[in-house]
Structure 1
Amino acid sequence: MYLFNGRLPTEKAHGLQIVKMCEAFAEDRNEVILLSAYRRNPIKQDFFSFYGLRKNFDYQKVPAIDISWLPGRLAYYIQTLLSALILVLWSKRYQGAGTIFYARDYWTLFFLSVFGPPFAAEIHDYRFKKPRRFIQLILNRAKKVIANSRGTKELLLKHYKVSGSKMLVAPNGVDLDQFNIPQSREEVRKELGFPAGIIVGHVGRLETAGMDKGVGRLIEAVSVMRHKEAILYIIGGPNNHVEYFKGKAKKLGIEQRVVFVGQVAHAIIPRYLRAMDIVVIPLDLNQHALTTSPMKLFEYMAAGKVIIASDLPGLKEIIDPTTALFFKPGDASGLALQLDRIISDPSLATSLASHSLKRAEKFSWSSRARAIKSFIESDGS
């Protein structure tokens, strides 16, 4: 029983992570129900088709109280609080022997701690600089705790009284089949209207919690590269950030070399990646970067791309110098040097891409779901 207090479908990565885990749990012969709180949604596409899912689990929306008439942030906070409470109380009708309740958003986990049955908590991108009592309550009441990265686990152990044996580090994953595209790079480029030549790419949301995910640094790097023939494609939103970065590219005089595609349905992301030569994860050094397990990393690997990434512990849990090139976080010149290096060395590019694709096989959603289920059902705590 997966509970989520948020909008689905959503263009944000957490939505994809949740639904792919539900799909993977169901593939392992589990009956899975995903309950989400009702939200007004600008996305009108069918839930299953938006994510390209197999219909092997049940998805239900739980009624919520519409208080959008209240002023801005006040409406958001009250809606979040009330819908989480309703979601947990609604889910209790499914309580029974063998039912595992599972959630990853804090308010749902809090109300499960207060009112709910035994549950497992998945914690992502822990960003608090100081301990919070409600998180201690969640960790106390949870049967098991799943951390998305070693960085997340280390911060939780630093801030709270919780046994390390109660916690499992489970990085995000990828659907390998979605990236097994029969068409060649040239065929997909023609289909998408991409030009010939070197294409550098960034796929995914351009900000998190209002912070730039390093895209500005990537644009700066492209502006100082020696290989001026390289074109940067940026896939993702939101639109206000797209406009900001368009302005940055224009200011640097490279607006003709930076193409902004905007947000696209996740189901066609593999085709965009097929068309690219080099992909970049340019995260700056902050707490998010230390605890994140970015889904784009696993998708880059599954697409067999050459990866250039910020030199961060969270990323190096997954990749190493045999699968990627690294640069100092925040160093646009260092990133430019690595871009030029890989363009000038095709044999290195081939080796990195091959090892990256091979490494991706260890990170399927199915293997993640099996590991989590086995951990939850184990006796140790």
Structure 2
Amino acid sequence: MLAPVLRSWGNRVVREAESLSETGYSVTAMMRCDHSITRNGVSYVCAPLARGRLQRFIKLPLVLWFAIRFRADVYHLHNPDMLPLAFCLRLLGKKVIYDTHEDYSRRLLMREWIPYFLRKPLSILISFSERFISNVVSAVLVTQDHQVAKFSKRTRLLRNAPYIPFRVKKEVESLRIGINSEADVYRLVYAGGISKERGLFIMTEALYALNAQGVPARLWLIGPELSPCLDEAKKLPGWEFVDYIGLQPHEVVFSYMSKADVGLVVLEDVGDHASARPSKLFEYMAWGLPFVASDFGCWKSFVGGKGGLWIQPGSATLLSDALRFLYYNTEERAVLSNEGKKFFSDFNWERESEVLLEVYRSILS
């Protein structure tokens, strides 16, 4: 596995690596980590240290050199950063899987660090490169249904289903004991990348409105800042009701989810948000956590409209109304909680990972 940009815990790469290891494969993953470690049967090695995106690009030859020296039977590469390496490894006759976690042809249009006039050209370039490489590599894995038709016939849909093995449940039970959750506080949680487009300001405004109306709500805000937004959010009156936890390992995130009353996933209708399926939505349901989510048809139809309340994106008023309704209707929260648990019993990584294992069997046969 080559994913030098991603951290070595709590993501799609780790789920895939551990599933392969459990099946008997010997798996080594190059990722962002402080030191090399073997965990749950997977050997994690440190990616070349890079400060900023330019250094990551400059150090790609080091990643390629590691891959060549390793002499793996299959090279599983993640996200567009690895497109040049996927091509080079195929030229060398290696078996290569390209795994794209998002629809980057849309997601790049939202990247604020890219000058506005470059976003569209880069989006077209990445889209073309991914389509080209899909005809070159041994297999392609995508997360969204509409991506399957965009790439070659070697493409398979591998959705981001929640992954909560028994050992994680046991660790969450231990971690949640140390989390202070006041009995009289209506506790909300958001877990994921933090930005304006992912609802930061909407959530903060709704918090202020709830408390002004007598609902003692607080928000656990967990995740990395994707674009500069926290300094601006801290100036809002609702920020006093936010507990910013920052970036945490998945087990810690789950422990907060397990102690919250309602989960939030109120993304704005930009980029590929409406067509992507956010992992956090399914993770809330896995922990029996009712949610309030943006009313996107793709999301709602996939879960059968169950597990939470759906609101028009971009409205702090609608969000505060939905949260106030759930605060005063504990029986409805219990119904939604049970719906979420039922959904998780049908849609989980244990079932979804069969696609991954089938792809590997096919390539290696």
TM over 0.5: yes
For each residue in 1:258-311, what CA deviation from the matched residue of structure 2 results, as whole angstroms up to 9, or x when unmatched? 332333333322221122101110100012313433232232122210111111
Give yes or no for contact 2:268–2:294 (8 Å, CA) kept in 1.
yes
Distance 1:246 1:47 in 2: 37
Compare relative contact order (CA 8 Å, sep 6+) and give the higher one, 1 or 2: 1
Pick the aligned partner of 1:167 from 133, 136, 156: 156
Q: Look up the match of 1:85.
A: 61
Distance 2:300 2:240 in 1: 33
Shift of 1:112: 1.5
For the 8 Å contact 1:144–1:376, the answer to whether it is kept is no
The residue correspondences of 1:260-279 to structure 2 (distance < 5 A) are 260-279=244-263
Q: 1:85 to 1:285 in 2, by over 3 A?
A: same
Match of 1:202 in 2: 190
Offset, 1:151: 4.6
- After TM superposition, the runs of 4+ consecutive aligned structure 1 residues lying more than 6 A away are none
1:142 aligned onto 2:137: yes
Q: 1:301 aligns with which of 285, 290, 314?
A: 285
**What code does the residue aligned with 1:138 have?**
I
Equivalent residue for 2:95?
Answer: 118
**Counterpart check, 1:236 vs 2:223:** yes
CA contact (8 A) 1:26 1:57 kept: yes
SS at match of 2:244: strand
The 5 Å alignment of 1:269-348 reads 269-316=253-300, 318-348=302-332
Question: Following TM superposition, by how much is the alpha carbon of 1:82 offset from its aligned partner in structure 2, in angstroms?
Answer: 3.6
Structure 1 residues 67 and 31: alpha-carbon distance in aligned structure 2, compared to 1, 3 A threshold: closer
Report the secondary structure of 1:292's partner residue. Answer: coil
Measured in 1, the distance between the counterparts of 2:66 and 2:39 equals 26
Q: Closer, same or farther in 2 for the Cα pair 1:298/1:172, shift >3 Å?
A: same
- Structure 1: tracts of 5 or more residues without a match: none
Deviation of 1:88 (Å) = 2.8
Q: Within 2, Cα distance between the matches of 1:320 and 1:138?
A: 35
Note if contact 1:120-1:142 (Cα within 8 Å) is conserved in structure 2: yes
Superposition deviation, residue 183 in structure 1: 5.7
Distance 1:352 1:93 in 2: 51
Count of aligned residue pairs for this structure pair: 337
- Structure 1 residue 200: deviation in Å? 1.6
Q: Mean Cα displacement is larger for which, 299-308 or 236-245? A: 236-245
- Looking at structure 1, the residues matched to 140 and 40 of structure 2 have their Cα atoms a distance apart, in angstroms, of 28
CA distance in 2, matches of 1:55, 1:377: 21
* Residue 352 (structure 1) shift: 0.8
2:218, 2:242 within 8 Å by CA — same for their partners in 1? yes
* Percent of matched pairs sharing the same residue: 17
Residue aligning to 1:25: 20
Q: CA deviation at 1:35?
A: 2.5
Q: Is the 8 A contact 2:29 2:45 kept in 1?
A: yes
